[in-house]
Amino acid sequence: MLQGLNADLDGMNYSLSDSVKMAEMVFASGGKAVNMTVVDTACCAGKGRFGEGQCNTSAKLCPNRNDFMFWDGFHPTEAASFAAAFELFGDTGEYLHPMNVRQLAAL
């Protein structure tokens, strides 16, 4: 679909990411691939494995959010977002197609 749109719109450039594949890599490494130690529990812990819903004032916070992949049941931590952005900026084709963010920004 994007290739067809790219052909129809002169000057349009895009990059499509496989965020599921990226997340699978992080889970498979237990977080080591992105220097995190906790990938299965939310930093702002609610009930349940990944937290239940958004962080709120009654939730217990983790001691070091940079070790955690998830802030709450819906959102990644700042550290997880940074790791994803860093990976996508210089990706060699494993997660982004047809080009990485660095190449897209250079156009």
Asked if residue 25 is part of any domain, the answer here is yes
Range of the domain at 38: 17-106
Dist CA 46 CA 70 (whole Å):
12
Q: What pLDDT, on a 0 to 100 scale, did the predictor assign at position 2? A: 63
Asked if residue 8 is part of any domain, the answer here is no
Q: What pLDDT, on a 0 to 100 scale, did the predictor assign at position 14? A: 85
Asked if residue 81 is part of any domain, the answer here is yes
Asked if residue 3 is part of any domain, the answer here is no
Looking at the structure of the chain, the number of domains it has is 1
Asked if residue 9 is part of any domain, the answer here is no
pTM of the entire predicted model: 0.79
Q: What pLDDT, on a 0 to 100 scale, did the predictor assign at position 73? A: 84
Q: What is the pLDDT along the chain (107 residues), one digit of tens a residue?
A: 666 666 677 788 888 899 999 999 999 999 998 999 999 888 987 666 666 778 888 888 899 999 999 998 888 999 999 999 999 999 999 999 999 999 999 99
Asked if residue 12 is part of any domain, the answer here is no
Asked if residue 93 is part of any domain, the answer here is yes
Report how far Cα 21 is from the mean position of its chain's Cα atoms. 10
Q: Evaluate the omega torsion of the peptide bond into residue 98 and state whether it is cis, within 30 degrees of 0.
A: yes
Asked if residue 1 is part of any domain, the answer here is no
Q: What pLDDT, on a 0 to 100 scale, did the predictor assign at position 50? A: 67
